[in-house]
Every structure is written in structure tokens, then in C-alpha cells.
Amino acid sequence: MYHAHIYFDTNQINEAERLHEKITNHKDVIRIFPLVHREVGPHSKPMFEVHFADDKHGFLDWLKRERGELSVLIHPVSNDALSDHTTRAVWLGKVLPIKTDILF
């Protein structure tokens, strides 16, 4: 299982909503959550979250092409949230700060 966190600024809400709508139709996606318009958890910007099991249908390449200027954090899900969000994570676009102190 993997999570993708797609970050946006207030001036990117339309772009985030457009991408959110497109993602709902991708075959690799297990679950997509609504846009969160504030910082939440370890995330330093508003974002929405996508869960996917694998990349069987090319979700990652698709997301690279479709994300526009939005930054995306992709990480595996294990019992080590700190490593999942840092050393095991992959970024598309600008790398953003993660509040690691709450991941212990």
C-alpha cells in the first residue's frame, strides 16, 4: 500500500480540484480523500491524499504528467511512519518540509 499526498496553495485550488477529479477515474487508485484546506498531521500545506496498492496501470507516470505545478509526496505504508515520510519517500515537484516530530 502507498499514499500520495498532493499539496496545493490557496491560488492552486482549481488545479488541485481538477487533478482530484481526474484521479478518481484511475484504475490503480483504491481511495481518494477530499481536499483539506489547512495543514494537517505532518504536512506543511493543504493537501489531499490518495491510496493505491501498486503501479500496475501506470499511476505514477500518469501523476508525473498530470500534476502540473503541484508537489506530490509518495510513500509506502509500514509501521515506521518516520521513514515512510522521509527516507523511503519520493517527491514529484518541489520537496516540501514535513513535520517529522509528530511521526514518532
Q: Hey, where are the domains in the chain?
A: 2-102
- Per-residue pLDDT band for 7 (boundaries 50, 70, 90) equals very high
Mean pLDDT of the chain: 93
pTM for the model: 0.93
- Per-residue pLDDT band for 102 (boundaries 50, 70, 90) equals confident
Task: Determine the CATH number of domain 2-102.
Answer: 3.30.70.1240
Residue 63 near residue 55, CB atoms below 8 Å: no
Exposure on the CB side of residue 52, measured as CA atoms within 13 A = 21
| pLDDT in the model for residue 38 | 95
Rg of the chain's alpha carbons, rounded to an integer?
13
| pLDDT in the model for residue 55 | 84
CA distance 34 to 102: 22
| pLDDT in the model for residue 41 | 87
pLDDT digits (tens, 9 = 90+) for 49-83: 999 988 889 999 999 999 999 999 999 999 999 99
CA distance 55 to 60: 6
Three-class secondary structure of residue 20 per DSSP: helix
- Per-residue pLDDT band for 36 (boundaries 50, 70, 90) equals very high
